[in-house]
Amino acid sequence: MSLRLIPDFKKEGNSNILNLIGSVARKHDVDCMNITGFCKTTGETPVYVFVSGNEVVILMIDWRPVPEEEIADEEEYFGNPPTYFSGKNKRDSPVWRLSEFSRLYQRVMADANVRLTYVWGVLITNSTFINYDDMTFFWDMMGVSVFHGYGKGSIPFVHYSYKYHSTALAQYKAFRLWCERQGDLPRDPYAFEGIDADYDEMEFGLDKDDNDIDIQSFVDDDDFLNDLDEFADDDEDEDMEDDEEDTDIDLPHFPSGTMRLGQNKTINVEILKPLPSPREELEKMVGCQNIKTQISDLIELTKYNKWMVDHYPKWKQHHVSLHAIFLGRPGTGKTTVCKIYGGLLKEAGVLSKGHVVVCNRATFLGSNWGDEENAIRQVLKKARGGVLMIDEAYLLNSNHPNDPGKLILPQFMDILSNEEKRDVAIVLCGYKEPMQKLLDLNPGLASRFPNHFEFKDFSIQELMEITYRRLSEYGYHFTKAGLKKYKAVLAEAYKVRNPNNWGNARFVANLLENIYLFHAKRCMRSKNNDDTKAFFNITPADIQPIEVPCEKKRIGF
């Protein structure tokens, strides 16, 4: 069965969602139902249901009188709804409300024997969620796409349909009947034009063809309720016939991370799926301005090449190599940028999947002669369509003449010389100095990997920004004294660090994990468990230093 509606909403970027709603509403096979005020679950929050066959997208518009920056949280506490925090204010999670309504809608349709195949939620809000990047995974698990930050202007007005196809009409009648039986008194679905003055006039909907069913002729027709099952059954047959004519959407298949070398050795590599909005992720990264500029320039040249070839097939392309070298210490963002890089190349149309396969020296070395070639072949197969990231690549070039690792890079270079194997980008990662020695010893590598990206250590200010972002994932805040102590601990660690193995963002993550442990112990031992706000305050007692690898001083002459 093919998907016609949901993938458009799931892949759309934050800035284009309003245009997408308009284009979806113009599709002949999509109906838009306005069910605002139908039930107590959503109240007067604007809710619209887009229906295409048995596929449903539920749109909720969360528009606050004064938009705020909020910290999102989707964990229920003691049976209470998840809470969003903004300064001194808090409220129930709008994503949770939409998810609950989506489940309710599906139960109602199931009870009415109206078949639904796929249901997805879409939330548009004028609030801005500080921890948006960290919450997208949880929202995906809840079946909701969130588009935030529409703080300017009045609430967008969605023009819903007046004539429905039979599937949408069956859903409308079933849900309206359920609401009436629950004692909820739905407002007149045609009474919303009176508030047009408070809305932006955005033409998001069009009437369907004249031969479609006019909903107004059925609103007061009680006989229709007896025919509801018949409508659902007939429409199910029609949809199945339509689906046979459609072609399935090409959803990429990502490989497993398991490789077998010989009979007894199994190796696991990490497979990172592409980010849904790589451009936004790149812009939101702390620091790394030089990286952002270099990657943007490379992607623009790649897009230009593709556009010119599409429009002028005989045009000679500029040579653009996708392969790159990432130079930097641990914790400077190399893996994150690899994911962004793969996603951007997929958006540009030069990679088919955009995922990342992470490997290192141990990935390629087996116990038998010839395992290296077998490992390379398997790794490249898994990386086809995405990015192959080789961490600490300089370890593949030891000084020992019989080291089997010395065979890996020459074989990669032979493969890279074949222009038919272009649906992959290879990224070599490692410390700057040993990576430079690797390039000096292998002059051919420099020409195969012309794109060099240097990841610099984070400054104290950037590490503090990373700290705030990580704390916001849990809704934590420093007390005044707690912030003072944290800054002192971080500054001392930064002062005595060994530049060669300083962990950067990884050190911050480890320090915070230690803080969370002490924080949890303190809260559980506290006698004032009724003060829930205290559970989100990080105090000096929670902040304990952790070990910092220091630079060893030389002794003697």
Question: Residue 181 pLDDT > 70, yes or no?
Answer: yes
Mean of pLDDT values over 443-461: 85
CA gap 471, 130 in Å, rounded? 11
Q: Please identify, among 402, 436, 454, the residue that sits at the C-terminal boundary of a domain.
A: 454
Instruction: Note whether 32 and 115 are same-domain residues.
Output: yes
Name the phi and psi angles at 196, rounded to 5.
-55, -30
Whether 330 is in a domain gets the answer: yes
pLDDT for the residue 357? 92
Mean of pLDDT values over 321-338: 87
Of the two residues 521 and 26, the one the predictor is more confident about is 521
Q: Please identify, among 433, 454, 475, the residue that sits at the C-terminal boundary of a domain.
A: 454
Q: How many CB atoms lie within 10 A of CB 320?
A: 15
pLDDT for the residue 205? 33
Instruction: Note whether 22 and 61 are same-domain residues.
Output: yes
Q: Please identify, among 454, 485, 520, the residue that sits at the C-terminal boundary of a domain.
A: 454
CB within 8 A of 155, min separation 6: which ones? 46, 61, 63, 126, 198, 199, 200
CA gap 407, 462 in Å, rounded? 40
Whether 48 is in a domain gets the answer: yes
Instruction: Note whether 25 and 82 are same-domain residues.
Output: yes
Identify the CA nearest to 204 among candidates 34, 3, 6: 34
Instruction: Note whether 400 and 529 are same-domain residues.
Output: no
Q: In which domain, by residue range, is 99 found?
A: 4-182
Whether 246 is in a domain gets the answer: no
Whether 385 is in a domain gets the answer: yes
The answer to whether the CB of 95 falls within 8 A of the CB of 141 is no
Pick from 66-70, 245-249, 273-277, 374-378: least confident:
245-249
Identify the CA nearest to 374 among candidates 517, 203, 260, 492: 260
Q: What percent of the chain has pLDDT over 70?
A: 74
Identify the CA nearest to 36 among candidates 54, 65, 71, 62: 62
Whether 119 is in a domain gets the answer: yes
Name the phi and psi angles at 331, rounded to 5.
80, 10
Instruction: Note whether 446 and 481 are same-domain residues.
Output: no
524-541 confidence digits (pLDDT tens)? 887 666 666 778 899 999
Count of positions (residues) in the chain: 557
Question: Residue 210 pLDDT > 80, yes or no?
Answer: no
pLDDT for the residue 531? 66
Mean of pLDDT values over 111-131: 86
Instruction: Note whether 406 and 474 are same-domain residues.
Output: no
Pick from 5-14, 239-248, 485-494: least confident:
239-248
Q: What percent of the chain has pLDDT over 90?
A: 10
Tokens of 299: 């992607």
The answer to whether the CB of 119 falls within 8 A of the CB of 58 is yes
CA gap 130, 476 in Å, rounded? 12
Question: Residue 462 pLDDT > 70, yes or no?
Answer: yes
pLDDT for the residue 361? 87
CATH of the domain at 63: 3.40.1350
CB within 8 A of 153, min separation 6: which ones? 200
Instruction: Note whether 289 and 424 are same-domain residues.
Output: yes
Instruction: Note whether 50 and 165 are same-domain residues.
Output: yes
pLDDT for the residue 4? 56
pLDDT for the residue 489? 92
Instruction: Note whether 11 and 112 are same-domain residues.
Output: yes
pLDDT for the residue 223? 46
Question: Residue 45 pLDDT > 70, yes or no?
Answer: yes
pTM over 0.85: no
Whether 106 is in a domain gets the answer: yes
Residue 495: its H or E element: helix 480-496
Whether 217 is in a domain gets the answer: no
Instruction: Note whether 141 and 46 are same-domain residues.
Output: yes
Calculate the CA 320 to chain-centre distance: 28
pLDDT for the residue 9? 64
Pick from 288-292, 409-413, 526-530: least confident:
526-530
Question: Residue 190 pLDDT > 70, yes or no?
Answer: no
Whether 501 is in a domain gets the answer: yes
CATH of the domain at 499: 1.10.8.60
CATH of the domain at 296: 3.40.50.300
134-169 confidence digits (pLDDT tens)? 888 788 878 888 888 876 665 666 766 666 788 888
Question: Residue 371 pLDDT > 80, yes or no?
Answer: no
- The overall average pLDDT reported for the chain is 76
Instruction: Note whether 146 and 283 are same-domain residues.
Output: no
Name the phi and psi angles at 238, rounded to 5.
-65, -40
Instruction: Note whether 447 and 469 are same-domain residues.
Output: no
Q: How many domains does the chain have?
A: 3
